[in-house]
A = this chain, B = another copy of it.
Amino acid sequence: MKRRAPRPGEFELIARHLAPLARGEKGAFGLLDDAALIAPRAGHAFVVTADAVVEGVHFLRADPPDLVARKALRVNLSDLAAKGARPRCYFMTTSWPDWVDGPWVEAFARGLGVDQAAFGIHLAGGDTTRMPGPLSISITAVGEVRGPAMVRRSGAKVGDEIWVTGSIGDAFLGLKVARDVPGGLSASDRETLLGRYRLPEPRVAAGLGLAGIASAAIDVSDGLVADIAHLARASGLTVEIRAADVPLSAPALRAVGTGLASVRDLLSGGDDYEIAFTAPPGAAARIRALSRRTGVPITCIGSCHKGAPDVVVRAADGRPVAFPRAGFTHF
């Protein structure tokens, strides 16, 4: 019940491993003040999102600490990407159980450093608490967009097409691999899928290109169908998805072949961290150019129609595929 429960050397741990991560953000004052001082660049506004990852829910205790750190950061970067925002800085609160020691913190900070360099974002503040119970990492990420404009969930128009980056369902399968569910997959496929679960690839470059092209967009983290349902409801129209057009990776196709999962599982599984977005048909050429420029596959998977604000998934023969409405909750 002490406010904090410091251990010998804890202050030094933070000073040594976390403070250097704040060097790139002048207003972080080296993590040596009560708060950071930040303002958007001229002509820009901030896009802000907050997501936590928790041991036993989003990662396992045995996971490498650098990957845990990068996943915690990347789930937030994925939200910024879906809004067309350029990463700027982040605030982090962590709860460390007793088993978190110096080498763990060092590896954790190293992971953050790798992704800070990769995505151009810097630590700007936070707090750490020693507590019993699962390790948790809460990050509030700040990005910038030009002008007071952000790609919203609510901007889709009747006649727009709907697209998705990357491939869908790999992380769902990766979680099965992490849980050692036998599935008749090759070691190489298992490794690829596990990697997609442990270390999502936020589509930051593609997201930046979408500003000015996409009419609406959403981070696909709770399952493709559930997230597109959010977009459909926010935009007040029906989004029809052609199940056969949803991009699946080669390992995912093989997993469907072995019966490890159905296509329906992949379309409702979580943790994809791809971007689903709508755009008028005339934007197709620019979207393909963006895909070539960024090296990220972007696939048209359906279209927007007048009708009940919801998602409809159609099989190749045109029949609707039923999905349970239970989704995952964001707020």
Contacts and interface: CB of A to CB of B under 8 A. Distances in A.
Given A4-B270, A6-B326, A6-B327, A36 B47 contact: yes
Interface residues of A, number: 85
User: For chain A, what secondary structure do more than half of its interface residues adopt (helix, strand, loop), or is it mixed?
Assistant: mixed
A56 interface: yes
Interface in A22-36: 29, 31-36
B6 A329 contact: yes
Given A6-B326, A34-B219, A140-B140, A1 B48 contact: no
Nearest to A270: B3
Contacts of A15: 331
Interface stretch (A89-97, A156-164, A253-261, A301-309): A89-97
B52 A129 contact: yes
A242 B18 CA distance: 35
B1 A60 contact: yes
A245 interface: no
Contacts of A205: none
A331 B128 contact: yes
A168 interface: no
Contacts of A271: 3
Contacts of A98: none
B83 A35 contact: yes
B1 A57 contact: yes
Interface in A120-165: 124-134, 136, 138, 140, 142-143, 145, 148, 150, 152-154
A276 to B, nearest CB: 11
A130 B56 CA distance: 11
A129 B49 contact: no
Contact of A133 (B58, B82, B133): B133
A44 B39 CA distance: 8
A328 interface: yes
